[in-house]
């Protein structure tokens, strides 16, 4: 799936990229440029701007108005709307910084680029071929896992709410 996020959704953009989604994010784009790019590249426009959402809908641009206050709420909303899985598969992830597909890179090729402890304690690495950023599932991974767990819980509640509305 391809998305275009407005300037208020930078963190969400990075999360979606980790989840394997192609997300264009550029804080310099104005509303007209967002609408044009979304239409030109067939991207779903993600926005927290209700007026922009209404304009997009009026001209036939697929858009989603993101209302969540926390990243886990926003992830749950987008996953619910677009049928996304809230699990990171590094083989499918895009660089959170520049939106380029990450490449699994043997640790031996990175020996001069990693700190000694990182090199000693971790074995799996992914490198962005565009910006050169290196990723691994280090100590920060627990926080990523916790946020995704919260989002999965919220997603389940959204689905239950919708099911209950249908049944009543």
* pLDDT tens digits, one per residue of 80-137: 999 999 999 999 999 999 999 999 999 999 999 999 999 999 999 999 999 999 999 9
- Residues 35, 47, single domain; the answer is yes
The dihedral of CA 74, 76, 81, 84: what is its sign?
A: positive
- Residues 39, 73, single domain; the answer is yes
Report the number of distinct structural domains present in the chain: 2
Residues 55-83 as b/e (b if ≥16 CB within 10 A, e otherwise) read bbeeeebebbbbebeebbbbbbbbbbeee
Residue 97 lies in a domain: no
Torsion (CA) 48, 53, 54, 58 in degrees, nearest 10: 180
- Residues 129, 49, single domain; the answer is no
Residue 98 lies in a domain: no
Residues 6+ apart with CB under 8 A from 110: 119, 125, 127, 134
Mean pLDDT computed over every residue of the chain: 96
Q: What value does the mean pLDDT take over residues 34-42? A: 98
- Residues 22, 38, single domain; the answer is yes
- Residues 22, 41, single domain; the answer is yes
Confidence of residue 168 (pLDDT cuts 50, 70, 90): low
Residue 119 lies in a domain: yes
Confidence of residue 34 (pLDDT cuts 50, 70, 90): very high
- Residues 55, 69, single domain; the answer is yes
The predicted pLDDT at position 13 comes to 98
Residue 35 pLDDT exceeds 90: yes
Pull the structure tokens for residue 18. 């980790």
CA-to-CA distance for 4 and 12, rounded, in angstroms? Answer: 11
Residue range(s) defining the domain that contains residue 120: 103-135
- Residues 149, 131, single domain; the answer is no
Proportion of the chain above pLDDT 70, given as a percent = 99
Which is nearest to 108 in space by CA: 128, 91, 122?
Answer: 122
Confidence of residue 166 (pLDDT cuts 50, 70, 90): confident
The predicted pLDDT at position 157 comes to 94
- Residues 123, 57, single domain; the answer is no
Residue 96 lies in a domain: no
Do residues 94 and 21 make contact, with C-beta atoms less than 8 angstroms apart?
Answer: yes
- Residues 121, 152, single domain; the answer is no
- Residues 38, 25, single domain; the answer is yes
- Residues 15, 75, single domain; the answer is yes
3-state class percentages of the chain: helix first, strand second, coil last, to nearest 5: 45, 15, 40
């Amino acid at each position: 799936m391809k998305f275009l996020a407005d300037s208020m959704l930078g963190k969400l953009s990075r999360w979606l990229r980790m989840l394997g989604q192609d997300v264009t994010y550029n804080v310099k784009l104005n509303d007209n440029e967002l609408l044009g790019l979304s239409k030109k590249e067939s991207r779903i426009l993600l926005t927290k701007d209700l007026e922009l959402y209404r304009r997009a809908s009026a001209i036939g641009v697929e858009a989603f108005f993101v209302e969540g206050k926390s990243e886990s709420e926003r992830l749950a909303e987008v996953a619910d709307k677009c049928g996304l899985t809230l699990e990171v598969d590094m083989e499918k992830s895009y660089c959170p910084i520049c939106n380029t597909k990450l490449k699994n890179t043997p640790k031996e090729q990175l020996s001069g680029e990693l700190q000694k402890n990182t090199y000693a304690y971790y074995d799996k690495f992914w490198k962005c071929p565009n910006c050169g950023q290196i990723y691994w599932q280090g100590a920060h991974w627990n926080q990523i896992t916790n946020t995704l767990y919260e989002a999965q819980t919220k997603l389940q509640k959204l689905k239950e709410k919708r099911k209950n509305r249908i049944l009543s």
